[in-house]
Amino acid sequence: MNRLLPQMVVTDDRIMCMLEAMDEVHLTKGELVLKQGRVSNYYLLLDGYMRGYTHDENGAEVTTNFFAGPRAVLDATSFFGRQPSRENIVTLTDCRGYLLTLDVLNKLFHEMPEFREFGRAILVRELVIAQEQKLAHINLSAEDRYRQLVERDAGLMQHAQLRHIASFMGVTDTSLSRIRRELANKK
């Protein structure tokens, strides 16, 4: 379990066994994991990169998330609320992970008390990620946000397009281009 989800609180052999007994789901680069209008699944991503995006009121695409395994990939509102999602999620690389439905998840919660804490820890981690990213927008400049992004996940830079990174950062691709030039000059 530590190997799979290093930052998780729970390390339990039974959970590890249970997961490893499940069938791994493999996805190839470019696959649409979640389509706008459908109800989200719960994908326990082990390896690979994904990108989540929506559209703003002008119809322009907005990247809302990057996912790097190991991490839970889902639209929480859609998955738990059984509502159509407003997000799209697409793979940036080949991916490997486990696919969970709400039924399976609830069954696991019911049959395996230790799994409940595991599920809660995952939700808490998603919450922490969202809050950290929100904070980055509040008190970091675009340049600092970019630096932080690169430093925390250099691998992402190899798989995501700059315009998507720019849109995720909340700046135009023009601005990001300038920021990258400044950074290159400084070194």
Partner DNA sequence: GTGGGTTCTTGTCATTTGGCAAGTGTCGCG
Partner DNA sequence: CGCGACACTTGCCAAATGACAAGAACCCAC
Residues in contact with DNA by CB under 7 A are: 141-143, 161-164, 170-181
CB of 167 to DNA, least distance (A): 10
Q: Can you tell me the distance from the alpha carbon of 32 to that of 51, in angstroms, rounded to the nearest whole number? A: 10
Nearest-angstrom CA–CA distance, 87 and 74: 10
**Cβ contacts of 147 within 8 Å, gap of 6 or more:** 183
Pull the structure tokens for residue 168.
């995720």
Candidate list 38, 39, 70, 133; residue touching its own copies; CB under 8 A: 133
Binding segment (CB under 8 A) for its own copies, from list 12-20, 39-47, 115-123, 146-154:
115-123
Say whether residue 162 binds its own copies (CB under 8 A).
Answer: no
Specify the stretch interacting with its own copies by CB under 8 A; choose among 36-44, 77-85, 88-96, 152-160. Answer: 77-85
With vertex at residue 124, the alpha carbon angle to CA 65 and CA 70, rounded to the nearest 5 degrees, is 55
Which of 104/130 has CB closer to its own copies? 130
Minimum CB distance to its own copies smaller for 96 or for 133: 133
Element (H, E) at 119: helix 113-139
